[in-house]
Structure 1
Amino acid sequence: MRLLQLKLKQRMILILGVMALIQTGFIGLFALHYLERSLDEQIGQRALDVAKTIAAMPQVIESVEQRDSHYLQPLSLALADTTRARFVVIGDSNGIRLAHPKVEKIGHSMADDDGDTGYPALIEGHGYISKAVGSLGWSMRGKAPVISADGSISGLISVGYGLDRVTEIINRYRVTLILVILCSFILSAAIAVWFAYHFKKAIFGLEPEQIAHLFDEQRATLESVREGIIAIDSTGEITTINQTAIETLGLPKNCELIGRRVEEVLPDSSMLEVLQTGEPQFDSEVWRGDHCIIANRLPLKQGEQITGVVSSFRRKDELDMVSQQLTRIQQYADTLRSQAHEYSNKLHTIAGLIQIGATDQALQLIGQESQSHQALIKLLMKAAPDPVLAGCLLGKYNRAREMGLALVIDPESEMTNLPDKLPREQLVSIIGNLIDNALEATLNHQGSDGKVHLSMTDLGNDLIFEIEDQGAGIPPEQQDRIFEKGFSSKNRDGHGYGLHLVKNLLDKLHGTITIESGPSEGSRFTVYIPKNKN
């Protein structure tokens, strides 16, 4: 718990330092153990070679057969001095000493010191190496049998080398190992400081706990948004995907998608194209099954290097619903605003007439206004009994009057047979946008007192609406482009979207729209919406 309270730099110094101590200590102990075993083996092999050499000397063989200790004792001392051995012990076939550095040991069993009876050499007839402590201390011993001329084993030669030199070498390497461990710890601490500095710089100075907290926040945020989100790395593997994306794309919910190639999950995805080009893609329409998705794709960059791509998307019908709701609210607001403005002017006029005593004129104006609206309402109730469509037309009528124009509705119009399945929001969005464009075109070209004509009929298999303005008209070369997103004959921002929305809504309703030049000037837009979609 205390370790978690330390800063990242302190933790890295401590962890790397401890790791260096453990690793260096383990390697050092292994090296010392290996060195000790190697030295023991080398010394033991040397002792065995010397023992075999002495056992093969004819004088030694003869003296052992005769058990001549007077000859063998000084010879063993001389051989020990010559070979720099700690001792050379010679025994007979029963393991009784015939020569030993300590004279009092002669005549006694060689097993008195360490219990080694020399069985492999005396019985089996081959030399061997052993490490034991005897009357002369710890030593590596090599023992070889003395073979007589007839092939029988007549004695045993034991040559021992002390391990003092081995201990001295081990101690020297142990000091060296301690110095290496200290240097390794200091170097690890320096590396930890350097690495922690650059690592914290790369993670914007955050602590691991802060990163974990941000990760939890990001995950919660991704799952809370209503848009689908997918992110891939520079290799095209999926690194992030939220639940909304899985549901929107119809992907299996129980399948692990993180780490899989994006083309395996979404074969028609353009994220790899963005990864290669680095060019973002906005508002791209993608069909997934039977519904359309609006997607935005942005490259992720670290400096100039593209490190991945993130894509956010949403079903188009949801966006259309929001757009339609906003359009409807805007239409209602425009209607209320235009009506409030118009009636405010009328009330001011009536108030002025009353103040100057012209009550007859005031009553006449009230009657005209009431008669005009009554006629319009009566016409709309007959021609368009649907309240949503009638409300839209009433609002546009008042909007036209506010602009100084007139929206003339053909009294022969009839739109009483609207299909129940026809979305009213889409219908009024189409008609409202076309009337707004017609009013603006008429005002710009004709000025006040201009007129916009509307006729509609539901006879036959289609709903037909005709909107005719008194504008400047649309050149033939622009008629093919007038429905493109952002295209407008007006050099002002905020235009070029109404007709594009109209075309998209008509495509969804399987409808069509045509453009014709008016009899003298202006344009006529004719909308055909089938009553029954196939």
Structure 2
Amino acid sequence: MRRLVPTSLAGQAMALAVLVVAVLVIAAGVLATLDARADGQRAAREEVGAVAASIAAAPSTAQALSTSNPTSVLQPMTERIRAQTQVAFITIMNRDGIRFTHTNPALIGQRYLGTIDAPLRGETFTETYRGTLGPSIRTVVPIRDARGSIVGLVSVGITTDSLARSWESQIPLIAGLGAAALCCALGGLWLLRRRISRDTGGLAPQELRRMYEHHDAVLRSVREGLVVVEGGRPVLFNDEARRLLESDADDPPDFLTGADPIEDRLYVDGARVLVVNRMPVATRRDSAVVTIRDRTELSSTIGELDSMTRFAEALRSQAHESANRLHTIITLVEMGRADDAVALATDSLDLSQQLIDQLAESVAEPALVALLLGKVAQAGERGIELRLTEDSQLSDTATQLLSTPELITVIGNLVDNALDAADPEDPWVELTIIGDDGRLEVVVADSGAGMDPAMFARAQQRGYSTKSGGDEAGRGIGLALVARVVRRHAGAIVAESTYGSVVRVRIDAAGHVSTTSSGRSEK
């Protein structure tokens, strides 16, 4: 018996559907048969009633009953009518129920078997009764003379056997229609079973439920964001993906609207830096599985570490340069040229002190001063002039808008990008920093060509770089980190081409998010 019971979901659905369809077809056949039987009986009642009423209403019938031998007149007439109408019998009788006509002449003169009380009261009466010919449906109608008096009765009947043969002849047609309907239904169910079997992989309901439970548990336990893309649109998010994206399903990020492969690509979504991988599903068109990893804190740390590394390299360069100058001064002293040694030392000290004084006077944050000193030294090594404009003035209250690490991230990355983008034929970078507790504005200009608006917008959205390797080479995170900090504080970042390639960042105490672009290079 176990072998006869299907185990797959498709098989069980097919078996249940076949059972239901078979019951419905059989029930419909039975109902159709019963309806044919009822229709036959109703038609028989109407027919015998009509024949009886027409015979009773004929004047010749009442006249024949007043003669001395009614049978000689009525028997031939009733047999002729019976042959035409195919009824079982036509019996005409007097008020006492004595027959004058019958299908079997031997029964003429005997008493009628059936109910005649109601017809004697002037009523038309129909009943099913077992008579001399067997069970029959019969109608008895009173016969009236010209004065309206009841002079006799006429009974017309059809045997139930003949009715049964009539409606039973329809059973083969009903059975044929039922079989045809069942075959059509089985064909449709077989096609449905194939579709369900293909969609469910032929698995049993318990296996599907177990797979769903495990699938749901895996989705919830995976620490990476996981998104399933069907038809080029996302159809399934796990909890981590919803947390990382926090985006409207009607406006998903661009990496969720395709099925082309993506490998370890950086995207900036709101305040997050994400690493995205997208693997197409080979067996389904425009389908893919997307994994998302959060690199927000790591990217921020990398940006700050990169700034500190560059600062350390600048300090090492300065130390190396200072050592060279010191060796030169010592040599001049040993050569007896003390005046030249003093002049060289004083000139070096004056230049360094002048730069330090300018930065200390304009920038109140010591960490930022140290960063800028390192950037100046780094720019000098690369033959690039990095200058702080005279308009620069950053008070210590500016940290109420941006923290010191955030200031280092914004200014350090913008300066690095400008140094990389400066025109080698005329290398210069200009920095303006203006800020207090109500407003912070950072303007970085360089001699480079800049980026067009589309390229600038793209560089803010994900790890994009105009240099070889792009985000696959670990580049393209600088401007994305800057844009993330700006958006976090409801600020604005604008790129323009005026006296050079200019990037302007502005953050107000009660600002709003606004990002536009018109050209800028980014590392």
Query: TM-score per shorter chain, which class?
Result: 0.5 to 0.7
Amino acid at match of 1:330: G
Task: Report which structure shows greater RCO (CA 8 Å, sep ≥6).
Answer: 2
Q: Compared with structure 1, are the counterparts of its residues 151 and 517 closer, same or farther at alpha carbon in structure 2 (3 Å cutoff)?
A: closer
Cα offset, 1:152, TM superposition? 0.7
Give the partner amino acid of 1:142: T
| Distance in structure 1 (CA, Å) of the matches to 2:235 and 2:150 | 80
CA contact (8 A) 1:463 1:529 kept: yes
Report the counterpart of residue 414 of structure 2 in structure 1. 434
Q: 1:153 to 1:415 in 2, by over 3 A?
A: same
Q: Is the 8 A contact 2:14 2:190 kept in 1?
A: yes
Partner of residue 165 from structure 1, selected from 151, 162, 183: 162
The Cα shift of 1:168 comes to 2.0
1:464 Cα deviation (Å)? 6.5
Cα offsets for 1:480-526 (capped at 9, x unmatched): 888543497756634676457646755756577798999xxxx7979
Which residue in the other structure is 1:474 paired with? Answer: 448
Match of 1:122 among 103, 120, 123: 120
Corresponding residue for 2:279? none
SS in structure 2 of the partner of residue 89 of structure 1? strand
1:22 aligns with 2:2: no
CA 515–33 in structure 1, closer or farther in 2 if over 3 Å, else same = closer
Stretch deviating more after TM superposition (506-515 or 80-89): 506-515
**Hey, what's the Cα distance between the residues in 1 that align with 2:433 and 2:126?**
118
Contact 2:88 2:159 in 1 (8 A): yes
Deviations 1:118-174 (A, max 9, x none): 51x32235x454332223211222322211121111110112222323222333333
1:195 partner letter = L
**1:328 partner amino acid:** T
**Residue 161 of structure 1 aligns to a residue in which SS?**
strand
Equivalent residue for 1:72?
71
Q: Secondary structure of 1:418's match?
A: helix
2:458 alignment partner AA:
K
Any conservation in 2 of the 1:511–1:530 contact (CA below 8 Å)? yes
Change (3 A) 1:172 1:342: farther
Q: State the match for 1:83 in structure 2.
A: 82
What aligned pairs does 1:372-451 form with structure 2 within 5 A after superposition? Answer: 383=360, 389=368, 400=378, 416-441=396-421, 445=424
1:335 pairs with 303, 308, 320, which one? Answer: 308
Shift of 1:457: 6.8
- State the Cα deviation string for residues 397-443 of structure 1 (Å, max 9, x = none): 69949987899898x9875343434344432221111232244357x
Task: Specify the alignment match of 1:31 in structure 2.
Answer: 32
Match in the other structure for 2:255: none
Cα distance in 2 for residues equivalent to 1:453 and 1:207:
71
Q: How does 1:192-271 map to 2 (within 5 A)?
A: 192-201=189-198
Distance 2:52 2:35 in 1: 25
The residue aligned with 2:7 is 6
Superposition map of 1:44-63 within 5 A = 44-56=45-57, 60-63=61-64
Would you say 1:145 and 2:119 are equivalent positions? no
Q: 1:122 to 1:526 in 2, by over 3 A?
A: closer
For 1:131, which of 120, 125, 128 is the aligned residue? Answer: 128
One-letter code aligned to 2:146: A
Do the aligned residues in 2 keep the contact of 1:60 with 1:72 (CA within 8 Å)?
no
Distance 1:341 1:208, change over 3 A: farther
In structure 2, relative to structure 1, the CA distance for the partners of 1:177 and 1:484 (3 Å cut) is closer
Unaligned 5+ runs, structure 2: 253-258, 260-265, 277-282, 324-348, 512-523
Native 8 Å contact 1:12 1:192 kept in 2: no
Identity within the alignment, %: 17
Aligned partners of 1:404, 1:195: CA distance in 2, in Å?
73
Distance 2:245 2:302 in 1: 31
Structure-2-length-normalised TM-score = 0.58
CA separation of 1:336/1:207 partners in 2, compared to 1, >3 Å: closer, same or farther?
farther
SS of alignment partner, residue 169 of structure 2: helix
Gaps of 5+ in 1: 252-261, 272-277, 297-302, 351-371
* Number of equivalenced pairs: 439
In structure 2, do the counterparts of structure 1 residues 97 and 528 end up closer, same or farther at CA, with 3 Å as the change threshold? Answer: closer
- Alpha-carbon distance between aligned partners in 2 of 1:286 and 1:129, rounded to the nearest angstrom: 89
Q: Decide whether aligned partners of structure 1 residues 185 and 197 sit closer, same or farther in structure 2, where only a CA change above 3 A counts.
A: same
Question: Aligned equivalents of 1:75 and 1:509: distance in 2?
Answer: 114
Secondary structure of the residue that 1:158 maps to in structure 2?
Answer: strand
CA distance 1:239–1:65, shift in 2 (3 Å): farther
In structure 2, the residue matched to 1:258 is none
CA RMSD of aligned residues (A): 6.5
SS in 2 for 1:151: coil
Say if 1:146 and 1:155, in contact at 8 Å, map to a contact too. yes
